[in-house]
Chains A and B, each alone.
Chain A
Amino acid sequence: MIRAWLAPIPPRARILLLIVLVLLLAAPWFVDTYVLSVLIIVLYVAYMGQAWNIMMGFAGLLSIGHALYFGIGAYTGAVLYMNFGVSPWIGMIAGGLLAAVAGAIIGALGFRFRITGVYFALLTIAFAEFARILMDNFAYTGASGGFFIKLGDPHAFDLWNLRGSPVMFYYLWLAFVIGALLLCRGLLSSRLGYFWLAIREDQEAAQALGINVFRYKMGAVVLSAALTAIGGVIYAFYNNNLFPATTFNVGRSVEMLLGATIGGVGTLMGPIVGAFILTPMGEGLTILVQPLQQGGLHLDGIKQVFYGLAVIAIVVFQRRGVWPWLARLFHLESRRDDRS
């Protein structure tokens, strides 16, 4: 099976993939805490981008409400652990299921009522905002005052309760990014994946061919929502605090699609490549302007300005994203077909 999966990847891409993997696995031994914290953000952005990409990139459904699924996961995991002593791994299952149900409701409403394109995106935003305002007033989870997870021993390695050092979270995110990559790879070469691409390219033609468009679109929403919620649980346990205003807001939903858009919507590697380009450059810029900031300038938003300009540049000049362009440049694209 592994051989079948590797077959379409050209040899030089295989070697590159291996080198990157080894470097990532070894990274915690030779980087300092700051770089590690940046790498954790990179992996978080990559994972969220992968989850979002299943809806937009594979099935052609634009969601700008992924903060909803993220928040459902984060709050479910945190509440189950703090109030009932349940392991976050069970929390991931519970949060994933809840988010899947939320996704199914939004999807079913949207698709049954034939809401498409930008209107569908607005529907997803409306639901996320609805949830944000409700959570802001939901006393059980601390309302707008926030919900906190008790800090554990920062040097521990308690994987079952996800209480431990940044190194543990680094490997956890890395495992989930690789897992999501393998999952997406498997999906794309399955019937489901081909149906998604057919629906994305031309929904009416897909329907005419007898594909149950409603069912497969629902599949994409449910899967994307569940994966996002699982990431939300890990995020909650890494950060230890949750506020409705930052967990459910539109900004978080937009943040999830930035990396994937830069890297290449609809590609396998795009969300990962985008995260590795965007986050370190944003962080680097923050460090670069630090002397200016000490000189009295207010430059708190400079990272966001950079992210915004990067996306504008990508949309104008390299619409399919950085990864398809890189892959062409270095002959890394898959031999079987061009998936960009």
Chain B
Amino acid sequence: MLDVYLNQIVSGVLTGLVYGLSALGLSVIFGVCRIINFAHGEMMVVGMYLALMLFRWAGLDPLLSIPIVGGLLFAAGYALQGGLINRLIGVPEHMQFIMLAAIAIVIVSSCLMIFGPDLQNAPLSYAYDSYQIGPILVDKVKIMAGGAALAVAALLAAFFRWTYLGKAIRACGDNLTGAVVIGLNVKRLYALAFGIGAGCIGVAGCILLLLVDVQPYLATDYTLLAFVIVIVGGLGSLAGALIAGVLIGVSEAVAGLLVQPSLKSVFSFALLILVLLLRPQGLFGRQA
């Protein structure tokens, strides 16, 4: 009995890392641009479809399409912030939120028109391989997905910590006025940050295609899931997003064993409500 739980926990941790990576994208965009990206799940679904097309047309493994899809979503995010959202600086918060909800509707409906409403997947040759580690049986795809998510997250952390550009972007997020005063090109850095966030979401989409089938209407669920993770972890906290992603991944996996699988998200939303009420800066966030 114990090994069933152990198996679920390991699988939850690995899936949670992918959730965490996707939530990192949301967190970067909020932390720097102060935009609540309500089109988050929709962008991720676009990433999944792009990876699926590359798999079908070029036979490319979704993990190998990471640079291409990440790059495309980076460009799309850069253009979106540069062209549209930068016009909204200083606009009331709710208008930005409504605008991103509108962008989300456009994306998800376009996906519906192009790809149809059916579940689709990338049938991989190693989809059913697994490793036996002691008492635990782990799927190969989950190990690859978790590993890839961790690697990309590490790259992102390194970029923000050690490069000049990464530091400049962080400066915009920490202190906008200060950033303007020292002569940073805030609008360009905002666009870059949005692009990086979007690219991160696209990469998470590629990786997620290893684990689940894609369908346009999944987008809303992913948006909400990412919100839960980011708020639980603390908006703007990169490590918090990863840890909270793992936390949510494990809680969903274990909840699937304890109660009906269809009830598993109840725990995530209950956690979200509790965190919003009791610790709005998140479990790992700084005091607002």
The answer on A and B forming one complex is yes
Q: Which A residues lie at the B interface, using CB under 8 A?
A: 56, 62, 64, 109, 113, 115, 117-119, 121-123, 125-127, 129-130, 133-134, 136-137, 144, 249-251, 254, 257-258, 261, 265, 297-305, 307-312, 315-316, 319
A261 and B91 alpha carbons, distance in the complex (Å): 14
Contact of B265 among A56, A129, A251 (CB under 8 A): A129
Assess whether A127 is in contact with B273, with CB atoms less than 8 Å apart.
Answer: yes
Shortest beta-carbon distance from B44 to chain A in Å: 16
Q: Which B residues lie at the A interface, using CB under 8 A?
A: 36, 84, 87-88, 91, 93-95, 97-99, 101-106, 108-114, 116-117, 220, 224, 227-228, 231, 260, 262-263, 265-266, 269-270, 272-273, 276-278, 280
Assess whether B263 is in contact with A133, with CB atoms less than 8 Å apart.
Answer: yes
Contact residues in A for B91 (Cβ distance below 8 Å): 315, 319
Q: Which chain B residue has the least Cβ–Cβ distance from A245? A: B217
A149 and B269 alpha carbons, distance in the complex (Å): 30
Assess whether B277 is in contact with A249, with CB atoms less than 8 Å apart.
Answer: no
Contact of B280 among A56, A119, A136, A249 (CB under 8 A): A119
User: Which secondary structure dominates where chain B touches chain A?
Assistant: helix
Contact residues in B for A123 (Cβ distance below 8 Å): 273, 276-277
* Total A-B pairs, Cβ < 8 A: 127
Q: Which chain B residue has the least Cβ–Cβ distance from A320? A: B95
Assess whether B105 is in contact with A113, with CB atoms less than 8 Å apart.
Answer: no
A270 and B245 alpha carbons, distance in the complex (Å): 41
Query: 5 shortest A-B CB distances, which residue pairs?
Result: A301-B109, A308-B106, A311-B102, A308-B105, A304-B109
Assess whether B110 is in contact with A254, with CB atoms less than 8 Å apart.
Answer: no
Contact of A311 among B84, B87, B98, B231 (CB under 8 A): B98
Assess whether B112 is in contact with A300, with CB atoms less than 8 Å apart.
Answer: yes
Contact of A126 among B104, B114, B269 (CB under 8 A): B269
A305 and B228 alpha carbons, distance in the complex (Å): 27
Assess whether B94 is in contact with A109, with CB atoms less than 8 Å apart.
Answer: no
Assess whether A308 is in contact with B273, with CB atoms less than 8 Å apart.
Answer: no
Shortest beta-carbon distance from A325 to chain B in Å: 16
Shortest beta-carbon distance from A247 to chain B in Å: 15
Assess whether A64 is in contact with B101, with CB atoms less than 8 Å apart.
Answer: yes
Assess whether A312 is in contact with B103, with CB atoms less than 8 Å apart.
Answer: yes
Contact residues in B for A312 (Cβ distance below 8 Å): 84, 99, 102-103, 106
Assess whether A118 is in contact with B276, with CB atoms less than 8 Å apart.
Answer: no
Sample of 13 further A-B pairs with CB below 8 A, known A118-B36, A254-B101, A315-B99: A109-B277, A115-B276, A115-B277, A118-B94, A119-B276, A119-B280, A121-B97, A122-B227, A125-B224, A297-B113, A298-B112, A301-B109, A311-B105
A88 and B7 alpha carbons, distance in the complex (Å): 51
A311 and B97 alpha carbons, distance in the complex (Å): 11
Contact of B109 among A115, A265, A302 (CB under 8 A): A302
Assess whether B220 is in contact with A130, with CB atoms less than 8 Å apart.
Answer: no
A305 and B116 alpha carbons, distance in the complex (Å): 15
Assess whether A115 is in contact with B98, with CB atoms less than 8 Å apart.
Answer: no
Assess whether A129 is in contact with B116, with CB atoms less than 8 Å apart.
Answer: no
Contact residues in A for B227 (Cβ distance below 8 Å): 122, 125
Assess whether A126 is in contact with B272, with CB atoms less than 8 Å apart.
Answer: yes
Shortest beta-carbon distance from B237 to chain A in Å: 16
A122 and B269 alpha carbons, distance in the complex (Å): 10
Q: Which chain B residue has the least Cβ–Cβ distance from A130? A: B269
A113 and B262 alpha carbons, distance in the complex (Å): 30
Assess whether B276 is in contact with A129, with CB atoms less than 8 Å apart.
Answer: no
A136 and B110 alpha carbons, distance in the complex (Å): 28
A157 and B58 alpha carbons, distance in the complex (Å): 62
Shortest beta-carbon distance from B231 to chain A in Å: 7
Contact residues in A for B116 (Cβ distance below 8 Å): 298
17 example contacts (A-B, Cβ-Cβ < 8 A) are as follows A64-B101, A118-B97, A122-B227, A125-B224, A127-B273, A250-B220, A298-B114, A301-B113, A305-B105, A305-B110, A311-B101, A311-B102, A311-B105, A312-B103, A316-B87, A319-B91, A319-B95
